[in-house]
Amino acid sequence: MFYISLIPFIVLLIYDFKKSLHMAQQNLYNDDHRFLKWTIKDMKSFKTPLKCSLVVVITYLLLILLKLDSRLITELYFFVVSLIILIIKMKENRGSDTKIGLKVTARVKRLIITNIIILALISFGLYCVRNVNLIYLTLFIYEILLNFVLMISIIINKPVEKLVYLSYKNKAVSKLKSMNNLKVIGITGSYGKTSSKNILSDILNVKYNALPSPKNFNTPYGLIITVNNYLDKFDDILIAEMGAYKVGEIKELCDLVKPKYGILTKIGTAHIEIFGSQENIQKGKFELIESLPSDGVGVLNADDELQVNYKLKNDCKIIWIGIDNKDADVRALDIKTSNKGTTFNVVFKGDKKKYSFTTKLLGYNNIYNILASLALSKEFGLSIEQMQKAVLNVRSVEHRLELREAGNITYIDDSYNSNPVGSHMALNVLESMPGLRIVMTPGMVELGDKSYELNKKFGTYMKGSADVVILVGEKITKPIKEGLKEVKFDSKNIYVVKSTKEAFALVKSLSSGKETYCLIENDLPDIYNE
Per CATH, the homologous superfamily of domain 179-392 is Mur-like, catalytic domain (3.40.1190.10)
Query: Contact 36/30 with Cβ under 8 angstroms?
Result: yes
How many angstroms separate the CA atoms of 364 and 84, rounded? 49
Low-confidence ranges of the chain (pLDDT < 50): 46, 48, 524-530
Q: Which pTM does this prediction carry?
A: 0.74
What is residue 2's predicted lDDT score, i.e. its pLDDT? 62
Q: How far apart are the first and last CA of the chain?
A: 38
In the chain, % helix, strand, coil (3-state, to 5) comes to 55, 15, 30
328-348: burial string, b at 16+ Cβ within 10 Å, e else: bbbbbeeeebebebbebebbb
> Degrees (nearest 5) of the Cα angle 54, 58, 62?
165
How many angstroms separate the CA atoms of 291 and 184, rounded? 12
Q: At what angle do helices 106-129 and 7-26 cross, to 10 degrees?
A: 140
Strand partners, 210: 237
> Is 402-521 assigned to CATH 3.90.190.20?
yes
How many angstroms separate the CA atoms of 275 and 270, rounded? 9
Alpha helices in 102-145 (DSSP H): 106-129, 132-144
Question: Dihedrals φ, ψ of 338, to 5°?
Answer: -140, 180
Question: Dihedrals φ, ψ of 311, to 5°?
Answer: -85, 95
Is the alpha carbon torsion for 289, 290, 296, 301 positive or negative?
positive
What is residue 417's predicted lDDT score, i.e. its pLDDT? 66
What is residue 448's predicted lDDT score, i.e. its pLDDT? 65
Cα pseudo-dihedral 504, 99, 421, 201, rounded to 10: -130
| CA nearest to 268, candidates 480, 376, 423 | 423
Q: Going by C-beta distance under 8 Å and a sequence separation of 6 or more, which residues neighbour residue 279?
A: none
How many angstroms separate the CA atoms of 439 and 425, rounded? 13
Q: Going by C-beta distance under 8 Å and a sequence separation of 6 or more, which residues neighbour residue 215?
A: 194
Burial of 460 (0-12, 13-18, 19+ CB in 10 A): middle
What is residue 104's predicted lDDT score, i.e. its pLDDT? 87
How many angstroms separate the CA atoms of 92 and 400, rounded? 27
How many angstroms separate the CA atoms of 435 and 512, rounded? 12
Q: How many residues does the chain have?
A: 530
**Strand 183-188 relative to strand 436-441, pairing:** unpaired
Alpha helices in 264-398 (DSSP H): 272-275, 278-290, 305-308, 364-379, 384-392
Is the alpha carbon torsion for 375, 378, 384, 388 positive or negative?
negative
What Cα–Cα distance (Å) separates residue 330 from each residue in 320, 346, 454? 7, 7, 30
The kind and range of the H/E element at 405 are strand 402-406
Domain-wise residue ranges, the chain? 2-159, 179-392, 402-521
pLDDT tens-digit map of 62-91: 666 666 556 666 777 778 777 877 787 777
How many angstroms separate the CA atoms of 452 and 458, rounded? 10
| CA nearest to 361, candidates 286, 281, 425 | 425
> Degrees (nearest 5) of the Cα angle 332, 336, 342?
85
Query: Contact 263/200 with Cβ under 8 angstroms?
Result: yes
SS3 395: coil
Question: What beta strand segments (E) does 407-525 contain?
Answer: 409-414, 436-441, 468-472, 494-497, 516-521
What Cα–Cα distance (Å) separates residue 516 from each residue in 339, 363, 422, 433, 473? 11, 18, 22, 9, 23
